[in-house]
Amino acid sequence: MAGKYFEKPGPELADRVPPGQHLAKGFPVLTYGDTPAIAPADWSLTISGLAQPQTFSWAEIMALPQSDFTADFHCVTTWSKLDVTWRGVRISDLMEQLVVDPAAAHVMLHCYGGYTTNLAIADFVRPDNFLAHTLEGEPLPPDHGGPMRLVVPHLYAWKSAKWLSGIEFLAGPALGFWERNGYHQRGEPWAEERYSDR
């Protein structure tokens, strides 16, 4: 699909754009359902399951080391956006604050509004994953997941949970919202892991 909203990547970008993807113009919003309105003061992040239970307030997350990120964003509906700039907290820096049971092998991400998505722990703790509160130098807009979302650049963007409210550590695999509804458990864009592998 080329034209008003999408363009075919030129040869110089071909190695940045996974198979079957086109470059989006602008930054589309992709949400199932309504956009929840959460003020930072009302936002919190709850750690549950196979980990010491903990709840982080907005101020507690903002007190952790803050980093800048530039990452490509690939939606399974075939649009990609390159070099998105974000600011937030590295998942590896968050993990240093947690006491996780070594038996934890998967995570379920929970969101305000009820959306969920699952990740294997190796896909969750990668150093390029982060919680984002800033997009292109501005506070993360509500429709892009503000005040706080997860970004997992190496997988399709349905894994990048908007309005993140909880991280649940699990011993075994479990399915989130889109994974129950036909998407792949992992979702690696270079392998085109789009649809259910079950």
Ligand X SMILES: Nc1nc2c(c(=O)[nH]1)N[C@H]1C(S)=C(S)[C@@H](COP(=O)(O)O)O[C@H]1N2
Q: Which two tokens stand for residue 73?
A: 């964003």
Check residue 71 and report its DSSP letter. E
Identity of the residue, 28 or 40, whose beta carbon is nearer to Mo ion in the bound complex: 28
Q: Which of 177, 174, 173, 175 is nearest to 163 (CA)?
A: 177
Q: Does 30 bind Mo ion (CB under 5 A)?
A: yes
Question: How far is Cα 22 from Cα 95, in angstroms, rounded to an integer?
Answer: 34
Residue among 45 and 157 whose Cβ is closer to Mo ion:
157
10, two tokens: 């030129």
Least separation, in Å, of the C-beta of 163 and ligand X? 5
Comparison of 24 and 131: residue with beta carbon closer to Mo ion: 24
CA 197 to chain CA centroid, Å, is: 21
What's the closest the beta carbon of residue 160 comes to ligand X, in angstroms? 5
Q: 52 vs 77, which CB is nearer to ligand X?
A: 77
Which tokens hold the place of 2?
């080329």
- Residues interacting with ligand X, by CB under 6 A? 27-32, 75, 111, 113, 115, 144-145, 157-158, 160-163
Q: How far apart are CA 87 and CA 96, in angstroms?
A: 19
Map residues 40-79 to x or -, x wherever contact with Mo ion holds by CB under 5 A: -----------------------------------x----
From residue 34, alpha-carbon distances to 113, 116, 130, 148, 163 in Å are 8, 14, 24, 16, 11
Q: Which is nearer to ligand X, 24 or 89 (CB)?
A: 24
Q: Which of residues 105-144 bind Mo ion (CB under 5 A)?
A: none
Closest approach of Mo ion to the CB of residue 93, in Å: 26
Rounded CA-CA distance 111/61 in Å is 16
Q: Prior bond to 19 cis, omega within 30? A: no
* 44 binding partner (options ligand X, Mo ion, none; Cβ < 5 to 8 Å by kind): none
Residues that bind Mo ion (CB under 5 A): 30, 75, 157-158
